Structures are given as structure tokens and as C-alpha cells.
């Protein structure tokens, strides 16, 4: 069952002579239980693709379908609810709320969705334990290291019944050990039935995916199946 479908999606930023064709006709389907890595040079449209998939941006042409819903046909309220409940975002900009503790940050999306405070808190504590932060649940973001903050953000992105998980270079600022644990969490969420899209520069991270899609100048130029030889990709790293 496909959870994410991009149908001939275009996105033009700006107008006239300064217009940038960030995506120039991308068709991509991601099924439940499937993790797709997106690689490509800087400026090739990776973040644009992810923003469109998550309903944070709208295509200039083409359709985006998430869990059977055509995003372009949704009113703002429906789209907001879909984004809040069904889509998890792991972006480099963490967006943790400084005035809330780690556990409060993680519980927030559930509470916004009407889950009771006590239940939301319990679920949030469990989610933090899963990222090895059970002992730090009461700390504020500025009392946590960069890597710990990142894991709080991951816990918040994966909590609840997400159908689609989107990650834009989620391991950017992390040491390789923490980066690995982030990928493991993403992978297990997908193995639990979500669909995942992971933007990464790192072939070792792409090796966690079932499929790798290569973007260049806003189009998909290549797709590979399961990566059993990440070294072969590393050799192409000029493609970043």
C-alpha cells in the first residue's frame, strides 16, 4: 500500500527571469514499510521534495498524495491535522520549545491532538527512553547537548501514529554513534508500518534505506535497489 505518492510534481520558486525550477517533474511512490533515501548535489531539490511531501509547501504543478489524501484538495484545517497527526518531521532545525522540558516537548503534539495530559506524558516518557533519554526527561533544551536535543526532536517526530516520516539530513550535527541511533529509530518506525523518506549526503546512511533515489536539477536521474555495497556509492561521492 502506498503512503506517499508524488505525481509529476513541479515546483518553481520565484517568477520571471529569476525563477528556479527546483523540481521539474518528479514521480515517486513510497509504500508502507519502505524507507527511501534521497541523494543528490546541493541545490538539486531534495529539501523542496521533502517539504512538498510533508504538505509544508505546494507544488506548482502535479499532485502529492499522503495516505490516500490529495493534499492539494485539502482545506487548511484538514491539511494541518494531517501534518500534525500523520506526518513526522525530523529536520536539522530542531524547533524544540525552550520553555518546555524534554518530556513536555515530546508530549506536545499528542496534547495538541487532544490526548489527555497524563497519557501524553506517559507516552512521551516511553519515547524518550527509547532514545536513551529517560533520565533527562525533566531537563530543558538548553540543559542538553546538541546530540541529546536532536534525539528529543526525533522522539517528538516519531511519537503517535505517524504514517509518513520525513527526515532532512537528520544526522547533520551528530557524532556517528548518535547518528546511527537516529537512523535505527527511523528504520524501526518504518518497519512498524510507516513510510519514510530520508535525505542524506552519506552513503552509509543511505544503506539503511530500501531504495535510493538520486536527484539532479530537480529530476530523478537514477534509482537503486537495496544497497549492499555502500562503498560503491561512496566512490560516487562527487555526486554530492
Q: Is the dihedral of CA 169, 172, 174, 176 positive or negative?
A: positive
Q: Which is nearer to Mg ion, 46 or 86 (CB)?
A: 46
Catalog residues that contact Mg ion under the rule CB under 5 A.
Answer: 46-47
d(CA 3, CA 33): 9
In Å, how far are 41, 71, 78, 148, 199 from 202, measured between CA atoms?
A: 12, 30, 35, 21, 9
Q: Which residue is nearest to Mg ion (CB)?
A: 47
Among 228, 168, 174, 226, residue whose Cα is nearest residue 201: 168
Pick one of ligand ADP, Mg ion, none as the site partner of residue 178 (Cβ within 5 to 8 A by kind).
none
Whether residue 59 contacts residue 51, with contact meaning beta carbons closer than 8 Å, is answered with: no
Q: Which is nearer to ligand ADP, 14 or 116 (CB)?
A: 14
Q: Which is nearer to Mg ion, 91 or 208 (CB)?
A: 91
Least distance from ligand ADP to the Cβ atom of residue 145, Å: 26
Q: Which is nearer to ligand ADP, 20 or 112 (CB)?
A: 20
Pick one of Mg ion, ligand ADP, none as the site partner of residue 43 (Cβ within 5 to 8 A by kind).
ligand ADP
Whether residue 196 contacts residue 167, with contact meaning beta carbons closer than 8 Å, is answered with: yes
Catalog residues that contact ligand ADP under the rule CB under 6 A.
Answer: 13-14, 20, 22, 40, 42-48
Amino acid at each position: 500500500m502506498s503512503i506517499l505518492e508524488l505525481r509529476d510534481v513541479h515546483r518553481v520558486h520565484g517568477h520571471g527571469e529569476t525563477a528556479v525550477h527546483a523540481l521539474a517533474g518528479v514521480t515517486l511512490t513510497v509504500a508502507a514499510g519502505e524507507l527511501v533515501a534521497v541523494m543528490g548535489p546541493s541545490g538539486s531539490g531534495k529539501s523542496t521534495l521533502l517539504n512538498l511531501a510533508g504538505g509544508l509547501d505546494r507544488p506548482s504543478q502535479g499532485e502529492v498524495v499522503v495516505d490516500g489524501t490529495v493534499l492539494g484538495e485539502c482545506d487548511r484545517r484538514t491539511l494541518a491535522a494531517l501534518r500534525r497527526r500523520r506526518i513526522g518531521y525530523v529536520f536539522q532545525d530542531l524547533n524544540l520549545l525552550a520553555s518546555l522540558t524534554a518530556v513536555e516537548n515530546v508530549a506536545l503534539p499528542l496534547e495538541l491532538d487532544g490526548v489527555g495530559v497524563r497519557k501524553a506524558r506517559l507516552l512521551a516518557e516511553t519515547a524518550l527512553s527509547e532514545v536513551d533519554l529517560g533520565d533527562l526527561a525533566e531537563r530543558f533544551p538548553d540543559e542538553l547537548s546538541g546530540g541529546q536535543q536532536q534525539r528529543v526532536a526525533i522522539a517528538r517526530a516519531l511519537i503517535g501514529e505517524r504514517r509518513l516520516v520525513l527526515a532532512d539530513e537528520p544526522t547533520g550535527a551528530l557524532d556517528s554513534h548518535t547518528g546511527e541511533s537516529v537512523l535505527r529509530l527511523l528504520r524501526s518506525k518504518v518497519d512498524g508500518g510507516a513510510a519514510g523518506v530520508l535525505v542524506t549526503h552519506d552513503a552509509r546512511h543511505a544503506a539503511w534505506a530500501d531504495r535510493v533515489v538520486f536527484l539532479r536539477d530537480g529530476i530523478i536521474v537514477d534509482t537503486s535497489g537495496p544497497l549492499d555495497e555502500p562503498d560503491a556509492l561512496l566512490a560516487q561521492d562527487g555526486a554530492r
